[in-house]
Amino acid sequence: MNAAGPRPKIGFLGVGWIGRHRMEAMLAGGAVEAVAVADPSDEAAAEALRLAPAARRVPDLDAMLDLGPDGIVIATPSALHAGQSVRALEAGAAVFCQKPLGRTAAEVEGVVEAARRADLLLGVDLSYRHTEGMKKIRALADGDALGRLYAADLVFHNGYGPDKGWFYDPAQSGGGCVMDLGVHLVDLALWMLHFPEVREVSARLYAQGRPVAAGEVEDHAVVTLDLANGATVRVACSWRLQVGCDAVISAEFYGTEGGAALRNVDGSFYDFTADHYRGTARERLASPPDPWGGRAAADWAARLAAGARFDQSTEGLVETARVLDRIYGRDPAAPVAAADATEGARRLNAA
């Protein structure tokens, strides 16, 4: 696969709203072509086929892999991500997966190792890295404009909550708002700091205003990470918080020479500003509009078309997953409930 050769053929597994949005972003770039879609919803599949009339609908991942695609885009319930990713990679297809890549660090590590063995491109939709604001903030940090970073505060409060039942089943989701929203925040913090060692993790998880109990998923979390480089990261996230707007999203970074922050605008899930702070002065780095939502997907598609193979930077996915395990107090050696992809497709709507 290269820029001058045939376009990579892609199968789209799960084409609910998110899956279709990422599909549209990939196809708009022209780097790849859709050959198959799979989803238990007739309506979702029909909408996807309107985006790619030449593609065919297939019943499941096995049928999709029988077509010999160059890549698979996975937007199914979280419990299926790791197993489906490994199967696709072992069949010779590169993978772009919705977050989380796995419910536990062991699952994520298994996928990354499968990609390494197959020497295939692996991408995960950690889309906030691709906002214009975060790209400029990281460039500032990498250029020493902020000095030594020693503090970060990241927030994602959602005035709503997921509308699919599997999100509230720990065996299917792997966790609540931390797995759904906090994964973006932990990833952003570690990515900004180039994945330093995380020495200490403390977390308070709540469900409906009380400490989370066995069998529940959290709807509010407050987390502190103490890093080996001396920095401290604070993370807070929630579902259905009484915040007076749709969402409160921010990522603030403070160093010895300056600070920088990404913030959503007027409760929007999509519009962000970014600012560079120096003392009491500020400089605007980025403002809406910024069509960032499908940028991670389009970037993966372009890299695949250019012949990219396994990327060592994906090992950072394992580090983020290990932090999430520590937030949940999970035993790394504990078994994870198996998820059957065929049964999952029958009884769960795609993400």
For the chain, which residues make up each domain, given as ranges?
A: 9-127+295-314+327-347, 132-286
Span 184-198, mean pLDDT?
97
- Cα 297 off chain centre by: 11
**Tens of pLDDT, residues 249-286:** 999 999 999 999 999 999 999 999 999 999 999 999 99
* Structure tokens that stand for 294 in this block: 């499908």
Mean pLDDT, the chain, whole residue set: 94
Binning pLDDT at 50, 70 and 90, where does residue 335 land?
low
Place of tokens 């062991």: 106
Binning pLDDT at 50, 70 and 90, where does residue 347 land?
very low
pLDDT of residue 339: 54
pLDDT of residue 337: 61
pLDDT of residue 304: 98
Whole-Å CA distances, 117 to 66, 73, 94, 111, 318: 21, 19, 12, 10, 16
Span 167-194, mean pLDDT?
97
Report the alpha-carbon angle 36-40-46, nearest 5.
55
Report the alpha-carbon angle 211-180-238, nearest 5.
45
**Tens of pLDDT, residues 296-310:** 999 999 999 999 999
Span 36-52, mean pLDDT?
98
Report the alpha-carbon distance of residue 221 to residue 207 in Å, rounded. 9
Could you give the percent of the chain with pLDDT greater than 70?
93
Domains 9-127+295-314+327-347 and 132-286 share a fold: no
Using the predicted structure, report yes or no on whether residue 21 has a pLDDT greater than 50.
Answer: yes
CATH of the domain spanning 9-127+295-314+327-347:
3.40.50.720
Cβ count within 10 A of residue 203: 19
CATH of the domain spanning 132-286:
3.30.360.10
Q: Which of 169, 181, 9, 167 is nearest to 76 (CA)?
A: 167
Could you give the percent of the chain with pLDDT greater than 90?
93
Q: Which of 11, 70, 2 is nearest to 36 (CA)?
A: 11
Between strands 71-74 and 56-57, the pairing is unpaired
